[in-house]
Amino acid sequence: MTTVRWGIVGTGAIAHAVAGDFQFVPGAELAGIASRTRANALQFAAQHDVRLAFGSYREMLESPDIDVVYIATPHPQHRDVALAAIANGKAVLVEKAFTATLAGAQEVVDAARAKGVFAMEAMWTRFLPVIAAAREVVAWGRIGDVVGLQGDLYAFREYQPEHRLFARELGGGAILDLGVYPVSFAVSFLGEAKEISSRARLYPTGVERAAAVNLVHAGEGLSSLTFGFDGYGPGRMVIVGTKGWIEVEPRFHHPSMITVHRNGVLPRIIEALPQGRGYSHEFAEVTQRIREGLTESPTMPLSDTLEVMRILEECLHQAGIEHHEAAVDLG
């Protein structure tokens, strides 16, 4: 495969945000955009110089001119679109949160593995250069054994009951939309959780304004995480070790700098700017792995996605919230 031809399903804000970053990915082309209406697809294609505009999701998923699809629809729609893409032999990059439910995530993972096609959750943070540097610092033992994480992610939003962020039927709420970032970060550095404790405060629509999550990981590491839409916060993350710590400078989900603190040693600052808006690195990972013939990313394996979804669903359960996957009209 010389060039990996990408298609985006959905024309919302995140689709517009990522489109420009394909120019930074060697061997990749943003070849197609799919919307439920051809007019929206044509408008997006003209704005971002995309050569193929599909007036339905099905049209793209059945097209021989697309190799991999980035699924940029609301959370409850991810499962059905991903399953249809996989059934048509397409690789998938699924926007986070991966699905609305753990069961839905398991369906997608099982289908991808059975079909032998590549699948990955679009957790762009893991692929940013400075987060890769943080993993190297940990791997080299510079801060000793990682024993804890402390992080917050607040992103203030005016309450609008009709907006997807606040609508239960669209998978709204802070846990799936914001919590996925610190929880995935914790799983990346400390592994699976054996104890999960969460408290949330809710909007009148029944979704979470904010939540606090405490995790005890399998290796006895501890994570303390807070996030929400109803306040402002720095967006910090601290990786705690037995010989020092790493500060991931705000905002931790798209940082360009970390500071490494070691006992008895002056702090070391590591800076690494992302290409474009930062999404290019996850697209490069998928493109590379597909060209190598792999079906998973070693940096964002499907096992991590399932663990993150398990934790998020338990947090939702403790808040008295249950989400459902949506039946999607593919056109």
Contact 82, 109 (CB under 8 A): no
Q: What confidence tens digit (pLDDT) does each residue in 213-245 have?
A: 999 999 999 999 999 999 999 999 999 999 999
CA distance 271 to 150: 21
Confidence of residue 2 (pLDDT cuts 50, 70, 90): confident
pLDDT at 188 over 70: yes
β-bridge pairing 91-95 and 119-122? parallel
CA distance 255 to 217: 25
Q: The tokens of 297 are what?
A: 């990313």
The full set of domains in the chain, from first to last, is 4-124+279-295 (3.40.50.720), 129-271 (3.30.360.10)
Could you tell me the end-to-end alpha-carbon distance of the chain, in angstroms, rounded to an integer? 29
Confidence of residue 320 (pLDDT cuts 50, 70, 90): very high
Beta bridge partners of 99: none
Please, what is the average pLDDT of the chain?
97
pLDDT at 10 over 70: yes
pLDDT at 258 over 80: yes
pLDDT value for 25:
98
Confidence of residue 71 (pLDDT cuts 50, 70, 90): very high
pLDDT value for 314:
98
CA dihedral over 204, 326, 114, 26, signed as positive or negative: negative
Contact 45, 16 (CB under 8 A): no
Q: What confidence tens digit (pLDDT) does each residue in 167-176 have?
A: 998 899 999 9
Contact 301, 187 (CB under 8 A): no
pLDDT at 112 over 80: yes
β-bridge pairing 244-248 and 146-154? unpaired
Q: CA 299: distance to chain centroid?
A: 12
pLDDT at 1 over 70: no
Q: What confidence tens digit (pLDDT) does each residue in 113-155 have?
A: 999 999 999 999 999 999 999 999 999 999 999 999 999 999 9
Rounded-to-5 percentages of helix, strand, coil across the chain: 35, 25, 35
What's the pTM value of the predicted model, to 2 decimals? 0.97
